[in-house]
């Protein structure tokens, strides 16, 4: 059961469902991360964002999650990244990890999020309150 969920989707992400997906009798620490759309960036007011994924994004997400799930001590992993248009407060990335102990659960979840941010072929377009927009990290 180590990898219970790994998907790129245009549907809203559910933190509770990710936590439920990693809950095990052997787990003493369930850690989650929710990356949400904020209303500002670098001093500018943001009104929303759009994520666009390369067709291989789902497989890259699964491969990345499987690598974390294969670590000794990791009991379960669930992770999803949302694509499409997101509003302020919407979850863009949700990750949950279960381990026997909190230290390894925190480390595994942090490593999962960092690895996804580094490898996932997803691009973000920020829309600002003044109507302008910019692609982030696409130069």
Instruction: For helices 102-119 and 57-69, give the axis angle rounded to 10 degrees.
Output: 160
What's the pLDDT tens digit per position in 71-82? 999 999 999 999
- Tell me if 59 is assigned to some domain: yes
State residue 109's pLDDT score.
98
- Structural domain contains residue 138: no
Compute how many other C-beta atoms are within 10 angstroms of the C-beta atom of residue 138: 9
Percent of the chain predicted with pLDDT > 90: 96
- What's the domain count of the chain? 1
Q: Report in angstroms the alpha-carbon separations of 98 from 15, 72, 89, 125.
A: 14, 12, 25, 32
Domain membership flag for residue 31? yes
Q: What does pTM read for this prediction?
A: 0.94
Query: Does residue 71 fall inside a structural domain?
Result: yes
Q: Residue 89 is part of which domain span?
A: 3-133
Q: For residue range 37-47, what is the model confidence (pLDDT) as tens digits? A: 999 999 999 99
In a domain, 32, yes or no: yes
The pLDDT score that the predictor gives to residue 73 is 96
CATH number at residue 51: 3.90.1170.40
Q: Which pLDDT value is given to residue 139?
A: 41
On whether residue 9 sits in a domain, the answer given is yes
The SS3 call for residue 42 is: coil
Q: Residue 128 pLDDT > 60, yes or no?
A: yes
Q: What is the pLDDT of residue 138?
A: 57
What's the rounded mean pLDDT across residues 28-33? Answer: 97
Residues 6+ apart with CB under 8 A from 61: 6, 7, 8, 79, 80, 81, 116, 120
139 lies in some domain = no
Separation CA 62–CA 81 (nearest Å): 11
Higher pLDDT, 5 or 138: 5
| Residue 109 located in a structural domain | yes
**What phi, psi does 132 have (nearest 5°)?**
-80, 165
């Amino acid at each position: 059961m180590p990898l219970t969920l790994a998907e790129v989707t245009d549907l809203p992400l559910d933190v509770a469902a990710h936590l439920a997906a990693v809950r095990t009798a052997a787990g003493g620490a369930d850690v989650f991360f929710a990356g949400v759309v904020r209303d500002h960036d670098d001093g500018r007011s943001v009104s929303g964002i759009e994520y666009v994924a390369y067709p291989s994004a789902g497989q890259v997400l699964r491969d990345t999650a499987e690598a974390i799930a294969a670590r000794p001590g990791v009991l379960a992993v669930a992770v999803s990244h949302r694509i499409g248009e997101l509003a302020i407060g919407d979850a863009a990335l949700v990750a949950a990890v279960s381990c026997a102990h909190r230290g390894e659960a925190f480390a595994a979840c942090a490593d999962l999020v960092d690895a996804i941010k580094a490898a996932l072929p997803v691009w973000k377009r920020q829309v600002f309150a003044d109507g302008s927009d910019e692609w982030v990290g696409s130069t």
